[in-house]
Amino acid sequence: MDLNAAAIKNIIFPMLKYAKNNNTLEYLTNLNKTQFLPTDEIINIQKEKLRKLLLHCVENIPAYQSYKENIHLIEKEPMEALSYFPILTKQQVNESQDFFIFPDIDKSSLIANRSGGSTGQPVRFFIDRPTSENSEAARWRALSWWDISIGDKCLMVWGNPLELNNHQKLIYNMKERFLKNIIFVSAYSLNPKSIHNYARTINTAKPKYFYGYASALHLLAQLVIKNNIQIKHRPKVIVSTAETLYDFQREMIEKAFGCRVINEYGARDAGIIAYECGNGKMHISAENMIVEIVDIETKKPLKPGESGLVIITDLNNYSMPRLRYQLGDIATLSDSICGCGINLPLIENVEGREDDIFVSADGNYVHAVYFCNLARSYPSIKQFQIIQKTRHDLLLKIIKNDPFIESEIMSYIKEIYKVMGRINIDIEYVDAIKPAASGKIRYSKREFPLTV
């Protein structure tokens, strides 16, 4: 038995409730019940929470006071009333932050947050304790589907924990180790030499689950396989987060560690949005938020099965509400019901980030994820990055594998032409593709705005 895990679950977390008024456990108890309610009852919970939130917004939040005229609709049909509020972009949040903050709130009680700027536009915003704790509770609820509970030992594969100096780093490591029971692995320190130490750590410390960026977990798995390292310890599950999880990554990670890889769909600026269940379906944290999908161009709501922009309304943040917040991802909702017993609504597919969407010569939208998965069928490509620079120019960076067969690259290009049409493709053979400051590797990226 992991004594550290037991202490965290049974002593430290309950103590936090009294010492810091932390309600995560209470929220978790509730979420554990509501997930089994019939889906329409879950939707009713959303509606009630939304009604309260929208009334609070039009009464108290400067950015939304001009929507007070909709108050009757809010009271009667909050879901419909929500559609009358504008979609909120990251830029708007950055430009008029104070406009969204509840004037009566003690700003010092809020948690300043900032989404990563490495893969898109950084956004600065505040969340409050209930928002952060509800999100944390949603993560633990979903991990419980995989037999993971609060405090269980975790191997976390991440970029550098910010730019910490040594002393801070020590404190950070202690906190991670003892309070949260986390063994931290920096993606930057993974290499053919260090992998032997990490393998030893995994085999002796026996973390119950791994958690990390898709690309960092993939790198760990690659090193294990290439160096013929035997991992004797089998984690219950490996949780991939913060990036698109490509099929080739999932396969390699599962092969290296002999357990299921699952997807956590979360964002710093939206919390835990959805989580994969045993049936491989992504269940939305519906008690915490409303997820809408809208058309990329018209921004009109789309039906389940139609792919578009993800719009999030967090139902818990009364301190800085962001209604209909455009997250920057592309996904599809589903109206089917999962047979796993969890009745939370489903996201059919998280297709990637908004800037993973390329535009073909005919003006069609193309998911670059397709090119990324395709690249893996050509062994001559060791690593790659595909960037759409303009509507007419694509840059393909390739690290050659040994052996290298040029005709494979030509076949790959041909496949790209088939989808993208008459577009200019430049190939650059490089020695390295650097990850962003966060440690994330971007396989694809569009560098111009979709709409003019």
Question: CA-to-CA distance for 154 and 182, rounded, in angstroms?
Answer: 5
Closer CB to Zn ion, 79 or 340, in the complex: 340
Nearer to Zn ion, 281 or 367 (CB): 281
Nearer CB in complex with Zn ion: 36/429: 36
Told to check if 252 binds Zn ion by CB under 5 A, we report no
- Residue closer to Zn ion by CB (options 5, 350) is 350
Q: CB nearer to Zn ion: give 13 or 146.
A: 146
Smaller CB separation from Zn ion, 277 or 309: 277
The one segment of 75-83, 105-113, 312-320, 331-339 that binds Zn ion by CB under 5 A: 331-339
Q: Output the smallest distance, CB 339 to Zn ion, in A.
A: 7
How far, in Å, are 49, 255, 286, 346 from residue 282 at the CA level? 22, 22, 12, 5
Report which secondary-structure segment, H or E, holds 95.
helix 90-95
Sheet (strand 237-241) strand order: 182-186, 154-158, 209-213, 237-241, 260-267, 271-276, 282-284, 346-353, 325-334, 307-314, 289-294
Contact region for Zn ion (CB under 5 A) — 20-28, 177-185, 254-262, 279-287? 279-287
Measured from the CB of residue 214, what is the shortest distance to Zn ion in angstroms?
21
From 139, 218, 281, 322, residue interacting with Zn ion (rule: CB under 5 A): 281
Nearest distance in Å: CB 47, Zn ion? 22
Binding of Zn ion at residue 340 (CB under 5 A)? Answer: yes
Closest approach, Cβ 274 to Zn ion, in A, equals: 11
The answer to whether 213 and 240 have CB atoms below 8 angstroms apart is yes
Cα 27 from chain centre: 21
Q: Which is nearer to Zn ion, 274 or 420 (CB)?
A: 274
Residue 149, burial from CB neighbour count under 10 angstroms (0-12, 13-18, 19+): middle
| Gap between the Cα atoms of 181 and 184, Å rounded | 10
Cα 344 from chain centre: 18
Q: Smallest gap, in angstroms, from Cβ of residue 308 to Zn ion?
A: 23
Question: Interacting stretch for Zn ion, rule CB under 5 A, among 250-258, 269-277, 297-305, 391-399?
Answer: 269-277
Enclosing H/E stretch for 24? helix 24-34
Shortest gap between Cβ of 337 and Zn ion (angstroms)? 9
Say whether residue 338 binds Zn ion (CB under 5 A): yes
Region of 40-48, 84-92, 340-348, 410-418 interacting with Zn ion (CB under 5 A): 340-348
Q: C-beta of 36: minimal distance to Zn ion in Å?
A: 12
Number of residues that bind Zn ion (CB under 5 A): 6
Nearer to Zn ion, 42 or 57 (CB): 42
CA distance linking residue 91 with residue 125, whole number of Å: 11
DSSP structural state of residue 401: P
CB of 358 to Zn ion, least distance (A): 31
Question: Binding to Zn ion by residue 279, rule CB under 5 A?
Answer: yes
Task: Give the nearest distance from C-beta 284 to Zn ion in angstroms.
Answer: 11
Q: Which stretch binds Zn ion (CB under 5 A): 31-39, 74-82, 95-103, 336-344?
A: 336-344
Near Zn ion by CB under 5 A, which window of 17-25, 168-176, 246-254, 272-280? 272-280
Q: Cα(16)–Cα(132) distance, rounded to whole angstroms?
A: 14
Q: Which of 157, 284 has the CB closer to Zn ion?
A: 284
CA distances for 223 relative to 29, 171, 207, 228, 353, angstroms: 40, 29, 19, 8, 27
Cα–Cα distance between 219 and 215 in angstroms, integer?
6
CB of 275 to Zn ion, least distance (A): 9
Give me the residue label for tokens 């019940």: 33
Min dist CB 8 to Zn ion, Å, is: 27
CB of 161 or CB of 278, closer to Zn ion: 278
Tell which one of 277, 312, 331, 420 touches Zn ion (CB under 5 A).
277
Nearer to Zn ion, 231 or 340 (CB): 340
**Span interacting with Zn ion, options 97-105, 339-347, 350-358, 435-443, rule CB under 5 A:** 339-347
Region for residue 328 given its phi and psi (left: phi exceeds 0; alpha: psi -120 to 50; beta: otherwise): left
E strands present in 256-405: 260-267, 271-276, 282-284, 289-294, 307-314, 325-334, 346-353, 357-359, 365-367, 381-390, 393-400
Q: Which two tokens stand for residue 201?
A: 């750590």
Host H or E run for residue 186: strand 182-186
Nearest CA among 443, 444, 440 for reference residue 117: 440
User: Which residues sit at the interface with Zn ion, rule CB under 5 A?
Assistant: 277, 279, 281, 338, 340, 342
